Amino acid sequence: MSNSHLHVINHPFVIDSLTHLRDKTTPIFKFRHHSNQLCRLLFGEAIRGLDFKQCQIETPLAKIKSPKLKDEIIIVPILRSGLAMLYSAIDLLPKSKIGFVGLERNEKTAIANKYYWKLPKITKNNIVIITDPMLATGGSVKYVLDQISPQKPKEIRIVTVISAPEGIKLIHRKYPKIHIYTASLDKKLNTQKYIVPGLGDYGDRYFGTE
């Protein structure tokens, strides 16, 4: 799939951590470690191209002008598994505001149902980063995009660990200029709408639930 707005991050640590995440024998403490490491690198790539402002600072030796990030970032994890990515985002972007979106997928229809919605005020100065580790059908992310886009933020970006072609196509059919950052573009969805080869249920594996 050739797409200038899809960024598959091939950093060596991302590649290594993804193998650990896929392995069904990886214990929870290692899964969390590699998830946090991988997500931190994904967010590092996802903030490329943001605007800077020049600030006057003083080093131990001299006064200089030096750039700081200008854009105001809002991170929006899609509950529950999106929380697994939030810790790395806060480490990297501690000044960011956080919004929460609760969407639960119906296991029979694969349609997302909203049960929680709490976002900061979104303005034209905001970069909104939506996080969901598994971009499968794309329905949940598209739902959030449909709600946030009318508020006209400066830009919306998506950060996900694994993506399926079906989800990418759904998002870019309506939002062709949305940048998606992912560690892997996997083969397909199975009949249950799970990503193959994937890694199973991200939230269950990160939080230790079944």
Verify whether residue 186 is a known catalytic residue: no
Q: Pick the catalytic residue from 23, 109, 146, 173.
A: 109
Q: Pick the catalytic residue from 16, 23, 146, 204.
A: 204
CA distance 115 to 151: 21
List all residues 6 or more positions away from 2 whose beta carbon is below 8 Å from its beta carbon: none
Verify whether residue 209 is a known catalytic residue: no
The residue length of the chain stands at: 210
- Based on the number of CB atoms within 10 Å of its own CB, is 98 exposed (0-12), middle (13-18) or buried (19 or more)? middle
Q: Is residue 73 within 8 Å of residue 93, measured between CB atoms?
A: yes
The Cβ of residue 109 has, within 10 Å, a number of other Cβ atoms equal to 10
CA distance 137 to 91: 29
Looking at residue 168, its amino acid is I
Verify whether residue 204 is a known catalytic residue: yes
Q: Pick the catalytic residue from 22, 71, 80, 201.
A: 201
Verify whether residue 191 is a known catalytic residue: no
Annotated catalytic residues are 105, 109, 201, 204
